[in-house]
Homo-oligomer: A and B are copies of this chain.
Amino acid sequence: MFYLTIDILGTIAFAISGVLVAMDKKLDLFGVFIIAFVTAVGGGTLRDMLIGNTPVAWMQDSIYTFTILGAVIFAILLQERLRYLRKSLFLFDTIGIGLYTMVGIDKGLQAELIPIMCIALGTITACFGGVIRDILCNEIPVIFRKEIYATACILGGGSYFLLTRLPIIDEYSFVASIIVVIGIRLLAVKYKIALPNIYRNKSA
């Protein structure tokens, strides 16, 4: 129940972030819905297609579709005020990537993949909805350009596999790793931590 609540909150946050990008591009109602939809379920869809877990997850449970539909209607009705909700949305989004990362890792374990591939699946689940959103809106994906985002997922996923080597109940490791993702992401934004600059030419 707790798990589902967080999952739905993450879906809402991702969907609304899709609505915001789509409305910036002046898409029509259908376009806004599709962008919200792919932002929320695109990462999990790519994950399921990569491991052959088909029909993909959102086709097997209509709760995601209806949640996204509700979030889109809510976001369109409250469009002037959405900017004020930015902080809540950021929090939902951050919780969302924490949970989505671990959902992806769980699917990787079920598919009997090695840890590094599970971490890749977790990161894809959490981050690639946003990547597909940006591609559909004709932008270079924002997570390729700034801040610790995917990196939080990778580190959180890595900490899960470290924790499972210790004598800790698996559920605790799972929850702790979600907290690691969320913590890294929050700290990175609060202290403006970015990935190390890789460009040597300063004029660039």
A131 within 8 A of B: yes
A9 to chain B, nearest CB (A): 22
Bound Cα distance A195, B195 (Å)? 43
CB atoms of B26 and A199 under 8 A apart: yes
Give chain A's interface residues, CB within 8 Å of chain B: 22-23, 25-32, 34-35, 45, 49-52, 54-56, 59, 62, 65, 76, 79-80, 111, 113-114, 116-117, 120-121, 131, 135-141, 143-146, 149-151, 194-196, 198-200, 204
Taken together, the copies of this chain in the complex come to: 3
A127 to chain B, nearest CB (A): 9
CB atoms of A117 and B28 under 8 A apart: no
A128 to chain B, nearest CB (A): 10
Q: A31-B141, A65-B117 are in contact. List 4 more A-B contacts (CB 8 A).
A: A45-B50, A50-B54, A62-B114, A65-B120
Bound Cα distance A34, B123 (Å)? 11
